[in-house]
Amino acid sequence: MLNGCKADSKAERPAADSVTALDSVAQTGDNKAEDKKAEESAVKESATKKNTAEETAAGESAGESSGQPPETEEGITVIGEFARLSAEEGNWKGLTTEEKLEDFDFLYQTLKENYPYWNLAERTQNIDLEEQYRICREKIKNSETDMQLFTNIQGFVGPCGGIGHLQLVVENWADDYSNLDGISEDLLPLMRKISDAYANDTSVAAYEKIEKSFQKAWEKVQAYYEEQGMSDLLQSDPGSMAQEDETGDTILLDSGETDNLLYGSIEEGKTAYIKIRFFDMDYYEEDRKILTGLYEKYSDYENVIFDLTDNGGGGMPYFDDLIMAPNIDHTCTADTYQFVKNGSYNRKFMDFSEYKPVSEVPELPRLNQEDLSGLDLFVADTYKVEPSGEKKALKGKLWMLVNENVYSSSEYAAMFTKATGFATLVERTTGGDGIGSEPLPIVLKNSGLIVRYSPVYGTTPDGAGSEEFGTEPDILSPEGESPLETCLKAIG
């Protein structure tokens, strides 16, 4: 089972490929400029405020659709500037109203029939998706540019807060899905279909032009804040992110750092530290070599800390192959349940031959019955990781630092770790959605726009939804204390 092996590893990077980035805006008071550390977790966090359908509709207030305030004299957003682009700048195809509505209606119907988190999104985000659809559709009827279709699609999916990876894709991901090296045989059919969907000519051409429009809109936002004397509140580049001081006051001895890793000894011979920023499959081979060397170096250390805080995910094989498999001496398993809607779009990508009707699901005490009412099929699934060597590479006690920004395949790592006792989890409850499948792309044939969603509603053996509840750590950090500080206190 694969969760985000390609697209997620791209989307988690702070770049122009997220609507959260498009909504980034410098503001005064308690509303700070929002940047994304990890795509899914940032979108989820930005939508925790209650939003009504009117408040989150696209158009002039499109920025609100991802939790941002409307554009006022105090601030403007990139996505708001998208909506105001002229016909020359805001059209990539010159779509007719009928073509826009056809795309939007197809999106709505596809999500209604296939997106398993419809009820969860409405319940937890306090939204009415039927009403949201009606409002945005009316705006599309009166839209003048292709980009206004874009902003209204965001007005529809944005209020869901990224639940179940629901996201309007805003950058060409064809290249990210083109390389299927290393994908297991059982996953290749699915990944080929997903790769082909992202590589369709209409979408590739559309996103090439959208990225140019993004740059123009960003330049307008930059100019606005420079004129207001607030340019220091803006990122110099929409895709940049300053790496926070990840170890606080803790000094690493003999340390090293790459784009994806930070490592060193906290106390020589006793405690080692390895920070992994993403489970990005692009780093897989490079990190394999580095981690193998670190495991040899830290083999006899009493404690090794894996820091996954703010890791938004990537590819599940990264965790399985590079972290867990070298450091276990027996096969580890974790039981889950996976629920789906039996929609035709899901069936284009997935094989449900082993799934059963939800009427046959056993008693699961924590399974939300409202969510279950919107699901059709389920399967019991077991995740399994086998040791890659005859003995553990690391002989000492393993610790794993997590927080609410741990999402997707890094949430899977936390879930698997908790279920198997692979390491001691330290910090706050994770962000969720670690049980499931690669998000599926919905390609809108007229515009070329793509919206993706996770087709699987995953739960633990007692029915607790991974998306909603995440994974609770073994040791909670007190308020104001970093997970690393908590961990070091526990080590003593």
Q: How many domains does the chain have?
A: 2
Instruction: For Cα atoms 281, 287, 293, give the angle at the middle one, nearest 5 degrees.
Output: 155
Residue 176 lies in a domain: yes
**What is the model's pLDDT at position 242?**
31
**What is the model's pLDDT at position 26?**
29
**Does residue 224 share a domain with residue 333?**
no
Residue 240 lies in a domain: no
Question: To which residue do tokens 């997220």 refer?
Answer: 18
**Does residue 363 share a domain with residue 432?**
yes
> How does DSSP assign 179-232, residue by residue?
--TT--TTTHHHHHHHHHHHT-HHHHHHHHHHHHHHHHHHHHHHHHHHHTT-GG
Q: Which of 210, 132, 122 is nearest to 170 (CA)?
A: 210
**Does residue 148 share a domain with residue 109?**
yes
Q: How far apart are CA 31 and CA 64, in angstroms?
A: 13
**What is the model's pLDDT at position 428?**
67
**What is the model's pLDDT at position 128?**
98
Residue 448 lies in a domain: no
**Does residue 329 share a domain with residue 259?**
yes
Residue 305 lies in a domain: yes
Q: Which of 177, 201, 233 is the last residue of a domain?
A: 233
**Does residue 314 share a domain with residue 184?**
no
**Does residue 358 share a domain with residue 278?**
yes
Under-50 pLDDT residues of the chain: 1-73, 236-244
Residue 303 lies in a domain: yes
> pTM of the entire structure?
0.77
Residue 444 lies in a domain: no
Q: What is the extent of the structural domain holding 41?
A: 7-233
Q: Which of 233, 261, 276 is the last residue of a domain?
A: 233
**What is the model's pLDDT at position 473?**
87
**Does residue 280 share a domain with residue 204?**
no
**Does residue 282 share a domain with residue 137?**
no
Torsion of CA 94, 99, 103, 104, to 10 degrees: 100
**Does residue 169 share a domain with residue 208?**
yes
**What is the model's pLDDT at position 6?**
35
**Does residue 300 share a domain with residue 216?**
no
Residues forming a β-bridge with 381 = 336
| CATH number of the structural domain spanning residue 459 | 3.90.226.10
> How does DSSP assign 39-69, residue by residue?
HHHHHHHHT-S---HHHH-SSTTGGGGGTPP
**Does residue 258 share a domain with residue 148?**
no
Residue 238 lies in a domain: no
**Does residue 154 share a domain with residue 46?**
yes
SS3 track for 430-489: CCECCCCCCCEEEECCCCCCEEEECCCEEECCCCCEHHHHCCCCCECCCCCCCHHHHHHH
**What is the model's pLDDT at position 432?**
57
Residue 132 lies in a domain: yes
